[in-house]
Structure 1
Amino acid sequence: MEFQRARISALIITFNEVGYIEKCLKSVEFADEIIVVDSYSTDGTYEYLVAHPKVKVIQHPFKNYTAQKAFTLNQASNDWVVFVDADEVITAALREEIIATTNSSATHAAYWFRRKFMFKRELLRFSGWQTDKNYRLFRKSKVRFSEKRIVHETLEVNGTSGILKSKLTHYCYRDFANYKHKMVLYGRLKAKEAFQKGKPFSVALLLLKPTFTFLYNYIVRLGILDGFKGMTICYLGALGDWERYLELRRLEHEQKVPSLKPVRQTGN
């Protein structure tokens, strides 16, 4: 009886990823299909994807990370899915481990990947990221994205989870402005998540949480050993917390004093 190789779908979401998506796509070419959902990039990302012979690209408006990834997952034709971010790269060792895992009698429904973080082209060894891991390989039929989170999304898994040995490379830091924008966006989405759960704004948390986050990651999680890179990452992580509580205060204020301005519609 001829051996049937497991088919794999590689899934990616994008927004303005020129300069990073190229390496990501190259690293997932082993997959049987590559599906990219783009949230209307303006930097040429969409045009690059449309011209790519191995990519199926779909444009879909971005609501939050969980909603976007859930939509993308629904597009996969195969049960085995590897889901990576546009600034992540699957190494040769990890690729071989993925192929071996999906072609074996895998007992787990989903697998965590550990990640190594790159500050531009330099490795970030500490700063709170040294134990980071995310679900990246799983069976579509056994998972769903949890609706309890809209940022730092996670899976609800019907079955057990494993962890692969090889690490995923994450080019997390391009430049100061890009990473700051990312942390501000994360902070605002976390505020929306907290607001939906009925968590109140607190002046004490506004003042104390960013300070704690910085000191914890810089001192306890050894960001100081990453030098200038560590100080930058830890500061911007704290800025995300600061933005989170500012946004939560704004959302509470809007609820108490509804805007009388007419809603402006865009698009069709």
Structure 2
Amino acid sequence: MDKHNTKLELSVVYIVKNGGYLLEKSLASVFRWVDDIVLIDNGSTDNTLAIAHNYHARTFHELAHHDEGKLRELALAEARYPWILVLDHDEVVTAELQTEIQSLLSSNPAPTAYWIPFRNHLFGRPLRYGGEQYRKLVLFHTSAIQLINTAVHARYQARNKKTTKKLNSFIDHYSYQNLFQLITKFTDYGIRLARQRYEKNEPLSLKKLFMYPLHMFWARYIKDKGYRDGPLRIVLDGAFAYMEWLSYIGLLYYLSVHGPHRHHNRHV
């Protein structure tokens, strides 16, 4: 592959496990216009590393023992530049967003963080309703953010929320690829969310166990008009309800087996 000579002093960072063909699609959307790609491999068993090397990404692997927060800290530490764009393997930068970022960073902006809109896809089709278009803080100067780690997702938070800005163009997110991947994804989320609820000593009730999943489905499919995306939204919003139910079944399991969570006091 030919590399263009003029590239932005921007580091794109990934945390990946078994990225497959979507990783290649994501890398192709940034390869020709950014100067640094960092990929932290979290124990892939497919051709993730070969794909990354084909796009001249700097790879760091055999790190499967770290949680997501630690992996994201490592990615930022390995980045060559203070301006960072954070992508997952199933996220693709649109041509419009590329132009917007190039124009922005070429103007030498003050260090801050930018909210970028995401456009989710279900089985290859874009979604427009029911909470599936949102913004994430994924373009930033490292001095402007801090990393917040949770059991389900680590996220970046602006040190000064009043200085954050918004971009207009989308990242396309191919989060829901097929039925098997969808169920696997939400099962994993439900298990991790159960652990998070347990560690926060969240109380359990029959209402949470039975009514919260139904409310999750109603809120996404009816209240937020997910039905306007077509009948397949029933599958997606049912998966969200399943995740909610599984998180409380998991909490019930933890409480039954281990009893209430005990916080360990740490003295500094």
Pairwise TM-score range, normalised by the shorter structure: 0.7 to 0.9
Counterparts of 1:168-183 in structure 2 under 5 Å? 168-183=171-186
Matched with 1:153 is: 154
Matched with 1:201 is: 204
Residues 113-122 or 173-182, more deviating: 113-122
Cα offset, 1:155, TM superposition: 1.9
SS in 2 for 1:7: strand
Q: Deviations over 1:10-31 (max 9, x none)?
A: 0011111111000100111121
Residues 183-192 or 82-91, more deviating: 183-192
Residues 33-42 or 67-76, more deviating: 67-76
Counterparts of 1:12-27 in structure 2 under 5 Å? 12-27=14-29
Q: Deviations over 1:107-152 (max 9, x none)?
A: 461111111111222111213213x1111101112212113x2324
Q: 1:234 aligns with which of 224, 232, 237?
A: 237
In structure 1, C-alpha distance between the alignment counterparts of 2:97 and 2:41, rounded to whole Å: 25
Letter matched to residue 152 of structure 2:
V
Matched with 1:163 is: 166
Query: Do the aligned partners of 1:62 and 1:68 also contact (CA within 8 Å) in 2?
Result: no
In structure 2, C-alpha distance between the alignment counterparts of 1:5 and 1:26, rounded to whole Å: 14
Query: Do the aligned partners of 2:7 and 2:34 also contact (CA within 8 Å) in 1?
Result: no
Counterparts of 1:114-263 in structure 2 under 5 Å? 114-130=117-133, 132-147=134-149, 149-159=150-160, 160-256=163-259
Give the % identical residues.
26
Letter matched to residue 166 of structure 1:
S
Q: 2:84 aligns with which of 75, 81, 97?
A: 81
Counterparts of 1:34-73 in structure 2 under 5 Å? 34-49=37-52, 51-59=53-61, 60-61=63-64, 63-73=66-76
Q: In 2 relative to 1, CA 197–164 (structure 1 residues): closer, same or farther, beyond 3 Å?
A: same
Cα offset, 1:46, TM superposition: 2.7
Residues 94-103 or 150-159, more deviating: 150-159
In structure 2, C-alpha distance between the alignment counterparts of 1:102 and 1:64, rounded to whole Å: 31
In structure 2, C-alpha distance between the alignment counterparts of 1:21 and 1:106, rounded to whole Å: 29
Q: In 2 relative to 1, CA 182–63 (structure 1 residues): closer, same or farther, beyond 3 Å?
A: farther
Q: Normalising by the residue count of structure 1, what TM-score does the alignment of the two structures yield?
A: 0.87
In structure 2, C-alpha distance between the alignment counterparts of 1:32 and 1:53, rounded to whole Å: 11
Query: Do the aligned partners of 1:8 and 1:79 also contact (CA within 8 Å) in 2?
Result: yes
Query: Do the aligned partners of 2:23 and 2:51 also contact (CA within 8 Å) in 1?
Result: no
Matched with 2:263 is: none
Q: Deviations over 1:200-238 (max 9, x none)?
A: 232320111110000110001111111222111111111
Cα offset, 1:157, TM superposition: 1.7
SS in 2 for 1:156: strand
What is the alpha-carbon root mean square deviation over aligned residues? Answer: 2.1
Total equivalences in the alignment: 252
Q: Normalising by the residue count of structure 2, what TM-score does the alignment of the two structures yield?
A: 0.87
Cα offset, 1:193, TM superposition: 1.8
Cα offset, 1:5, TM superposition: 8.2
Cα offset, 1:32, TM superposition: 1.0
In structure 1, C-alpha distance between the alignment counterparts of 2:113 and 2:244, rounded to whole Å: 30
Cα offset, 1:246, TM superposition: 1.3
Could you tell me which runs of 5 or more consecutive residues in structure 1 were left unpaired when the two chains were aligned.
Answer: 258-268
In structure 2, C-alpha distance between the alignment counterparts of 1:156 and 1:174, rounded to whole Å: 28
Letter matched to residue 61 of structure 1:
A
Letter matched to residue 257 of structure 2:
E
The answer to whether residue 24 in structure 2 is matched with residue 9 in structure 1 is no
Cα offset, 1:7, TM superposition: 1.2
In structure 2, C-alpha distance between the alignment counterparts of 1:87 and 1:62, rounded to whole Å: 22
